[in-house]
Amino acid sequence: MTTTITGATGVNQITDDAITDAKLPEGSVLQVVQTVKTDSSIVSSSSFIDIPVLSISITPSSTSSKIYVSYSVQASAYVKTVQLRIVRDSTAIGISDAVGSRTRATQAQFFQNSDANHQACPMSSSFLDAPSSTSALTYKIQVKSQDGGSVYFNRSGNDANNGNWSVRTTSQITLMEIQG
């Protein structure tokens, strides 16, 4: 069924009763999902492991859809390098080429400060994935640290109970399905 709508300028616009994903132009956002980590946690690992809560699923509507992955992680570490990577199901994506024994990551940061009171720094990145799937996909952020040292999420190292300078923050991962 087709409905005719008269616009403010008197121009007739023809629309369908149902707008489907297939009728939207390439680049349109089809769906957005997000998970927010509001608690704090500590992870100590010299190999990549999941950051608690920063995992979310999406089911693409078409194999031509792309998934835009964006994350912001609040982390603290002391005189250590922290590496993050994006993982789709069990496959790391948005990582560097393999070269020697170097870690392949989406992002890395060296935390030079040894002050356990005041540090909570954002690590954020994004990646446009082309999974070619209509199955449910799980995206997550994984972390590893130099020598397996502690990485503190959404808090400072000592997490002092001091409202003047000690803070708690949030981290998030957002997925957007983009029309291909």
Q: State the Cα–Cα distance between residues 116 and 100, nearest whole angstrom.
A: 34
Q: State the Cα–Cα distance between residues 169 and 1, nearest whole angstrom.
A: 50
Instruction: Give tens-digit pLDDT for 41-58.
Output: 999 999 999 999 999 999
Question: In this structure, which long-range contacts are made by residues 99-105, counting pairs with CB atoms below 8 Å and at least 24 apart in sequence?
Answer: 103/144
Mean pLDDT of 17-38: 84
- Whole-model pTM: value is 0.85
Q: State the Cα–Cα distance between residues 124 and 2, nearest whole angstrom.
A: 45
Q: State the Cα–Cα distance between residues 117 and 123, nearest whole angstrom.
A: 19
Q: Are 87 and 135 in contact (CB under 8 A)?
A: no
Average confidence score pLDDT of the chain:
87
Percent of the chain clearing pLDDT 90 (strictly above)? 67
**Of 109, 123, 54, which is closest to residue 78 (Cα–Cα)?**
109
Instruction: Give tens-digit pLDDT for 136-163.
Output: 999 999 999 999 999 999 998 888 888 7
Angle at 163 between CA 158 and CA 167, to 5 degrees: 50
Q: Which domains are assigned to the chain?
A: 24-178 (2.60.120.1340)
